[in-house]
Amino acid sequence: MKVPKITLYQRGKCGVWWVRYSFNGERFHYSLGMVDERGARKELARIKYEIECSLHHPRKRMIFDNLLKEYLKWARNKEVSSYKRDLTSSKPLLAKFSRLRIDRMTQKLGEEYQSQRIDGKLRIDGVSRKPTVSKGTVNREIIMLKHMFKKAVQWGYLSETPFTNLELQKEPAPRTRYATADEWPRLLSACTAEMRNVVVFARFTGMREGEIFNLKWSDIDWQHESITITKCKNNTPRTIPLTKALCRQLRPRHRQARSIYVFPGKEGRRTTLRTAFNGACRRAGIENFRFHDLRHTFASDLVNKGIDLMTIMKLMGHKSIQSTMRYAHLQKKRLREAMEQTSEPPGDDGPNLAQTDDGN
């Protein structure tokens, strides 16, 4: 394809490089977002090469609202829970950045957004009733913002993202709650029959809620008594073995199944059990306990049985050992208990440690 005339020039006090050219009957005029001449000419060469090879997608002036629409359309292919989180995060982001041109957005705007969300100065109807939000919530929103602009670069709307160096807020240590020995039977007694099946399965597999409700009968290998989890939070499939007890629970359900899902809802795939689960906890008199805490209980059971942290990491599908290390304190407690069981007070003829010479 014939390359049109492309004008490269500097503009503004900082000397930012701009380009102007016509392509497929349209005129394009935009900033390259750089002051370095060498980099600008390299970008110019890239544009010419793309036009010559019919690969060029001209950068258009785009406002944040339209980029958000494109991003959410792309995000529909993500996990259901991840897509829903993006929908929630999009509301405060839109309140702050609506109608702004994405090529004029800066890191300073991102930092202002962080402080306004944490201080409660950017309240959004329908997102949260609380005047302020946690740093974790703001971090999820910033992660989405940074990924949006990374995709904008990949899609050709920007040459670089302004949020590369935008840092996340330091969050408090992650919450870790386990079901105690007396809470577990009370919880089961407060569950309906169907809910009890899900709760028991969650406790003794350590699977996340989304993984459980995505689970299909075809994911179960009955011969090897294992499950292959294909849709995971970190996009890394894993295989976990099933206990004999869980196999006895699942086999009769499989024979009578009318759905492709192991734990279906009324209309196909179930999305959540949280409302019913929270009600069961209230009836059982159990406070501050969430469905995800069944996963923590699974991990604590393994630690208390002496299973090493690397094995636990693989079973739980953690991407790094750092996530598993939250359970390390349980391992230390178990080691201390083991040492206490082996120690006995010395007899009359035994060594007196207080009087033993340090060199012996």
Asked if the structure places residue 87 within a domain, the reply is yes
Q: Which residue has the higher pLDDT, 343 or 143?
A: 143
Residue 239 has pLDDT above 50, yes or no: yes
Q: Is 359 within a domain?
A: no
* 216 found inside a domain: yes
Looking at the fold, whether 319 and 216 belong to one and the same domain comes out as: yes
pLDDT (average), residues 168-181: 84
Say yes or no: 16 and 115 in one domain.
Answer: no
Region of 306 (left: φ > 0; alpha: ψ -120 to 50; beta: rest) is left
Give residues with Cβ within 8 angstroms of 157, minimum separation 6: 59, 60, 62, 67, 102, 103
Rounded average pLDDT over 20-29:
83
pLDDT-derived band at 356 (thresholds 50, 70, 90) equals very low
Residue 59 belongs to a domain: no
Q: Quick check: 205 and 315 in contact, CB under 8 A?
A: no
* 186 compared with 16, residue with greater pLDDT: 186
Q: Are 129 and 25 in a shared domain?
A: no
The β-bridge partners of 170 are none
Q: Specify the number of domains making up the chain.
A: 3
Specify the higher pLDDT residue, 266 or 255.
255
| 204 and 304 housed in the same domain | yes
CA-CA distance, 93 to 64, in Å (whole number)?
9
pLDDT of residue 128: 55
Q: What's the pLDDT at 100?
A: 92
The mean per-residue pLDDT over the stretch 20-42 comes to: 84
Residues 264 and 318 in one domain: yes
User: Do 144 and 274 lie in a common domain?
Assistant: no
Residues 278-309 have pLDDT tens digits of 999 999 999 999 999 999 999 999 988 888 88
What's the Cα-to-Cα distance from 132 to each of 122, 142, 164, rounded to whole Å? 9, 16, 26
Mean pLDDT value across the chain: 85
40: in domain: yes
Shared domain check, 195 and 95: no
Specify whether 208 is located in the same domain as 313.
yes
pTM, rounded to two decimals: 0.60
pLDDT > 70: percent of the chain: 87
CB 298 within 8 A of CB 287: no
Indicate if 201 and 232 belong to the same structural domain.
yes
Amino acid at 316: M
Would you state the pLDDT for residue 290?
Answer: 93
For 272, the domain range is 183-337
More confident residue, 130 or 187: 187
In this structure, the answer to whether residues 70 and 48 fall within a common structural domain is no
Q: Is residue 255 part of a domain?
A: yes
Asked if residue 263 and residue 200 are part of one domain, the reply reads yes
Q: Give the span between the Cα atoms of 360 and 358, in whole angstroms.
A: 6
Quick: pLDDT tens for 44-96. 998 888 888 888 777 667 889 999 999 999 998 887 778 888 999 999 999 99
Under DSSP, the state recorded for 67 is H
pLDDT for 132 beyond 90: no
Residue 356 resides in a domain: no
